[in-house]
Amino acid sequence: MIATSTKKHNFSAGPAILPQSVFEEAAQAILDFNAHGLSILEISHRSKDFEAVMAETEALVREIGSIGERYAVLFLTGGASTQFFMAPMNFLKEGEKAAYVETGTWSSNAIKEARPFGDIEVVASSKERNFTFIPKDFDVPKNAAYLHLTSNNTIYGTQYQKYPASEMPLICDMSSDMFSRPFDIERFAMIYAGAQKNIGPAGVTLVIVRKDWMGRSGRAIPTMLNYKTHADKGSMYNTPPVFPIFVMMLTLRWIKATGGLAAINRRNVEKAKILYDEIDANPCFKGTVEKEDRSLMNVCFLPAKSEFEAPFLEMSAAAGITGIKGHRSAGGFRASIYNALGKESVQVLVEVMRAFAVKHG
């Protein structure tokens, strides 16, 4: 029998779990930042204390991701959804083509938002099979300016295990798996990520962009939507999201202290294996995604019978599990196992699944 619990095991897809130490340090900074008698919520973004936060956050991004000076590191607002149109606005010349791969809701939105700025060609899609796999072995037009990918698909639970071998410059939305595993920045012209999965709270968007690509489109761009504006001003053209950037800094410190991306990836692989092994073995559940494309971040699965859904959610809630109901467009269950979620929480979920099978299997 699974005991009831007051401890919450947070499997939410986002805003998501962050390390406990980050919550504690952030809470203290809200009360008194750097022992100045002021909250982090009220300090000037032009103060020396916050300038130090910005400098450390950028330095940590560069260190953890091995990001060289060829790239600008920007802290913007508006989430990944703003980057859906900001990237083609800045990079696509009038009438130029860009290639996109459609692997889920967010890539579909990126395609829609890019169309006003050029000839957008969807070179591969998994839509016809409800986004249950990552397309492979597709051709990319040689005259395309870039190939746009979504590295991890939060709603449907697929993830690129390898990026396409094409030499085409890549632009990638890494919102839900940023800094969850190593990557080679030199493969990309640009990476963008809403913070609220692995690297901080909602409110700041991390953008890493090749400096020689800024201004590539040649079109007139509103000042706030021009990457060069933010690069030239150190992400402080206007008041930045001070508190989300501070919490990002704390989270990046934690990633570094944990051993960096290689160590984080090992933990994530271990957690995912525990959960996927149970899904494959348990008669009450079934996976939704091709095994070779399964996400290490968002584990999606269905009940073997529709009538299992409500009692399983009830049993999970009694064990302190929250956030596992699947997205409304996909149904079933979704366990998001981001960096800060401990293996012990995954094991609690597995115990509930086994107890459910004893009762209903």
- Do the beta carbons of residue 316 and residue 10 sit within 8 Å? no
Query: 173 catalytic, yes or no?
Result: yes
Contacts of 186 (CB under 8 A, 6+ apart): none
Q: In 3-state terms, what secondary structure has residue 261?
A: helix
Q: Among the options 49, 97, 119, 197, which is catalytic?
A: 197
Q: In 3-state terms, what secondary structure has residue 59?
A: helix
Q: Among the options 173, 177, 213, 271, which is catalytic?
A: 173
Query: 32 catalytic, yes or no?
Result: no
- Do the beta carbons of residue 75 and residue 246 sit within 8 Å? no
Query: 359 catalytic, yes or no?
Result: no
Q: Among the options 106, 177, 213, 293, which is catalytic?
A: 106
Distance of CA 42 to the CA centre of its chain: 28
Contacts of 84 (CB under 8 A, 6+ apart): 109, 110, 112, 113, 114, 173
Q: Which tokens hold the place of 255?
A: 């990633």
Contacts of 140 (CB under 8 A, 6+ apart): 99, 123, 147, 164, 166, 168
The CA distance from 279 to 275, in Å, is 6
The CA distance from 162 to 140, in Å, is 16
Catalytic residues: 106, 173, 197
